[in-house]
Amino acid sequence: MLDLRTAYTLLILFMGTVWPAYAADSAPIAVKTPAASTDRSAVLPLEDIRVFVEVFQKVKQDYVEDISDKVLLQNAIKGLLSGLDPHSAFLDAEEYAELQEGTSGEFGGLGIEVATEEGLIKVISPIDDTPASRAGILAGDSIIRIDGIPLRGMSTNDAIKKMRGPVGSKIELTLLREGKPKPVVVSLVRAVIKLESVRSRELEPGFGYVRISAFQGHTGEDLIRELDKLKKKGNLKGLVLDLRNNPGGILGGAVAVADAFLDSGKIVYTEGRVADARLRFDAKPPDLIDGAPLVVLVNEGSASASEIVAGALQDNQRAILMGRRTFGKGSVQTILPTNNKTAIKITTARYFTPSGRSIQAKGIEPDIVIKKIKVQSEESTDIRLLREAQLERHLDNPNPRAADKAASSPVAGEDDAEARGKLLNEDYDIYSALTLLKGMALMKHRGGPASLP
């Protein structure tokens, strides 16, 4: 027989409590107590509950060590949520606090986004300029050991807790990597991760680059600030938006970024079982770069909120997507705080791109695919290439002024060969995006279409 205290605890667990809920973008959602229903699905499965209570009592009585009711019930809740999908989870007080720190832009750890896949802890993406990225951890790596301890079957939250620790402490990760016959071992030092979610630079005069590493509450404001910096340098003829290895984040941040480049049209809509999970977001003017050509870089590490932005810009024919197929996370999680400083993270909706596409478990296919390649410089040879002007008795140009005018085009001017060569060696994807962007800008300058069909 159960004691009164345990029975009361179980009753509370299964009858449920109405909690205030908060959407993925921190906007409050009102949760209403459901009205009485004759729907059989709303009736508590008493026989299954009896089985649970029986198992609970047997574990409490016969397990080799004495386990408190609190621990047993917390483990039951964890199992209930982790069995739903890879993104639903129970957050204890520490994990909930860490989640709030992460969305605010500062937290301690390695700077790595992970998820559980087929029993393995898989890297969605490392965050820029963190111990994980500096150690060479890649999207797609599977973490199989932490400090020599196997992780097979471990939940995502438990793995994250193992990777957290005092700033300055060392940790060793053992990774499985595609194309490597043996596990890769990397050593890292934990650090305070301060996320600057938006960074920018000028690739060439008139052509800007913006990198968004994660979507936080202030990402929209940060993007506006970085775009202002680029525009102050001169006329912005085109922009590369880099969303590679961006694991996502807050829904509101993604909507703000997509809205920055759209005058009108749908950005994203969500569908769920309850009314509060059915949302629609539309763009409002202005387009902050005034219709300048836009190329978006994506890859297999671009997930969730990144895919919302990429899908919105692709469906509205506002940008050309380049890179590789994205991660394919088309669901929205809601944080539901409890009354004891813990919370549950539960999948409440699926999101759809403006054209009605669900990218769940499929991802977004870029308009132009760039395969993973490594560029190596070619050794110089003794072969000298000649031009017409170097041949003896070549004909003179009958209209040299027209030729000079064409060469002085604001888009078709001579490239800085050294800078282009450096960019080619450092990041082939950005080099390719810039090349396409310049072609789009040239077409716009000549009065042709600024984007591809």
Active site residue 315: yes
Q: Could you give the strand order of the β-sheet that contains 207-212, starting from the edge strand earlier in sequence?
A: 198-204, 207-212, 238-242, 294-298, 320-323, 368-369
Instruction: Name the fold adopted by 198-369.
Output: 2-enoyl-CoA Hydratase; Chain A, domain 1 (3.90.226)
The residue with tokens 């630079």 is 201
The residue from 82, 315, 331, 345 that is catalytic is 315
The string of pLDDT tens digits covering residues 284-333 is 999 999 999 999 999 998 999 999 999 999 999 999 999 999 999 999 99
CB 147 within 8 A of CB 171: yes
Domains of the chain by residue range = 107-194, 198-369
**Distance in angstroms (rounded) separating the CA atoms of residues 140 and 123:** 5
How is domain 107-194 classified at the architecture level of CATH? Roll (2.30)
- Residue 101 has a CB neighbour count (10 Å cut-off) of 14
The residue from 122, 266, 329, 438 that is catalytic is 329
The string of pLDDT tens digits covering residues 361-386 is 999 999 999 987 766 655 544 455 67
**What pLDDT, on a 0 to 100 scale, did the predictor assign at position 217?**
87
CB 108 within 8 A of CB 192: yes
Q: Residues 20-35: what's their mean pLDDT? A: 32
Q: Which residues contact 344 (CB under 8 A, 6 or more apart)?
A: 77, 81, 88, 89, 90, 91, 335, 336, 338
- Residue 272 has a CB neighbour count (10 Å cut-off) of 17
CB 309 within 8 A of CB 219: no
**What pLDDT, on a 0 to 100 scale, did the predictor assign at position 91?**
92
The residue from 133, 197, 302, 304 that is catalytic is 304
Active site residue 242: no
Confidence tier at 32 by pLDDT (50, 70, 90): very low
Q: Residues 204-213: what's their mean pLDDT? A: 95
Spell out the long-range contacts of 441-447 with Cβ–Cβ below 8 A and sequence spacing 24 or more: 441/206, 441/207, 441/237, 441/238, 441/292, 441/293, 441/411, 442/409, 442/411, 442/412, 444/293, 445/237, 445/409, 445/410, 445/411
**Distance in angstroms (rounded) separating the CA atoms of residues 175 and 114:** 13
The string of pLDDT tens digits covering residues 210-246 is 999 889 889 999 999 999 999 999 999 999 999 998 9
